[in-house]
Amino acid sequence: MSSVLLSVTNLVKSYGTRRAVDGVSFRVHAGQTVGLLGPNGAGKSTTVAMLCGLLRPDAGEILLDGQPVVAGAAAVKRRIGMVPQDLALYDDLSARENLRLFGALYGLKSGPLAARIEHVLGLVNLQDRARDKPATFSGGMKRRLNIAAALLHEPDLLILDEPTVGVDPQSRNAIFDTLEALQAQGRALIYTSHYMEEVKRLADHIVIIDHGKVLADDTPAALHRHLPARAVLRVDLAEPAGEGVLAALRTHAGVTALAQDNATLDIALVNNTDAVPVLGWLQQNGQRPLHFSTARASLEDIFLNLTGRTLRD
């Protein structure tokens, strides 16, 4: 395992009587991509603000390469790049002028800054729009320019907060291409998103938080091993199963949960190998399967298993 780049230990942040972050701890290794997941109001945004040094924790410690990240620690914070959920661009400046302004704020000088601007424009495929103003850009192009701004100073750690909100599929793929290029360079990333397929594609480690606490901190493969149901069997029956059949099926070996919608059964299984005995049992008990399919439990299943299915504001 590579060296620890970011160490987060027992972070706490309260707003009045509400504790938004309650003892959050995790690590990010050099070259690692960590997916940071949580429902609305889970404490993700507050955690990200503290990681960037924008918000001082009430308690706990954030170390970047052994150095504390606190409000005012400019030298340490310059090693972090932040791509906020809300676009941070000036519409009355061209793309290149936006980057020149942000580069100056990072302390970059004329010659090196000009070279970095051209490099990051190339990385996000905006070279041909460098003279145009963001007001003329699509939402996806603005997101890509936001990423370029965060990369100007060559940060060791890039934090992306919902970077694909409101973008079309082509722009989303372009953003993924950029991030995968950064991964290939060995850049460390923290990626927050509500889109499970994005995290599944990019992250080699996942942290799930809810109510300000860490519920899971592991690799995707390890999270699957801890899920009560690792597979799902969907069966279309000739007619809906009766309550007696459903009650008996719930006690069948390997079945952890089930739901019926009209004549379609969704059966959660401990393993894919439990599917054949369950299908046999259905036939032996007078049910006529017309079609069935199996699938591995998804990252969304893991997320909902840990955080619940109740709607959040």
| Domains of the chain and any CATH numbers | 4-225 (3.40.50.300), 228-296 (3.30.70.100)
Angle of helix 110-123 versus helix 95-105 axis, rounded to 10: 130
**Alpha carbon 230 to its chain's center:** 21
Neighbours of 230 (CB within 10 A): 19
User: Contacts for 86-89 with beta carbons within 8 Å, 24 or more apart?
Assistant: 87/134, 87/142, 87/143, 87/146, 88/146, 88/149, 89/134, 89/142, 89/145, 89/146, 89/149
User: Contacts for 275-280 with beta carbons within 8 Å, 24 or more apart?
Assistant: 275/231, 275/233, 277/252, 277/253, 278/233, 278/249, 278/252, 278/254, 279/233, 279/235
Helices (H) and strands (E) in the chain, counts: 11, 14
Do the bridges between strand 231-237 and strand 289-296 make them parallel or antiparallel, or are there none, so unpaired?
antiparallel
Contact assessment for residue 46 and residue 13, using Cβ atoms and an 8 Å cutoff:
yes
**Torsion 2-159-307-231 (CA) sign:** negative
Of the candidates 274, 164, 175, 271, which has an alpha carbon nearest to the alpha carbon of residue 225? 271
Query: What pLDDT sits at residue 125?
Result: 92
**Torsion 251-241-262-278 (CA) sign:** positive
pTM over the 0.75 mark? yes
Distance CA 241, CA 286 (A): 9
Contact assessment for residue 227 and residue 277, using Cβ atoms and an 8 Å cutoff:
no
Q: What share of the chain is helix, strand, coil (3-state, %, to 5)?
A: 35, 30, 35
Question: Going by C-beta distance under 8 Å and a sequence separation of 6 or more, which residues neighbour residue 31?
Answer: 2, 183, 186, 187, 188
Coil, helix or strand at residue 285: coil
Q: What is the DSSP code string of 189-254? A: EEEE-S-HHHHHHH-SEEEEEETTEEEEEE-HHHHHHHSS--EEEEEEESSPPPHHHHHHHHTSTT
Distance CA 210, CA 309 (A): 12
Coil, helix or strand at residue 185: coil
Distance CA 98, CA 129 (A): 12
Per-residue pLDDT of the chain (313 residues; tens, 9 = 90+): 579 999 999 999 999 999 999 999 999 999 999 999 988 888 999 999 999 988 999 999 999 999 999 866 788 888 999 998 888 899 999 999 999 999 998 888 888 999 999 999 999 999 999 999 999 999 899 999 999 999 999 999 999 998 888 888 888 888 999 999 999 998 999 999 877 888 888 999 999 998 999 998 999 888 877 666 677 888 999 999 999 999 999 999 988 878 888 899 888 888 888 999 999 999 999 999 999 988 776 777 666 666 765 545 5
Coil, helix or strand at residue 156: coil
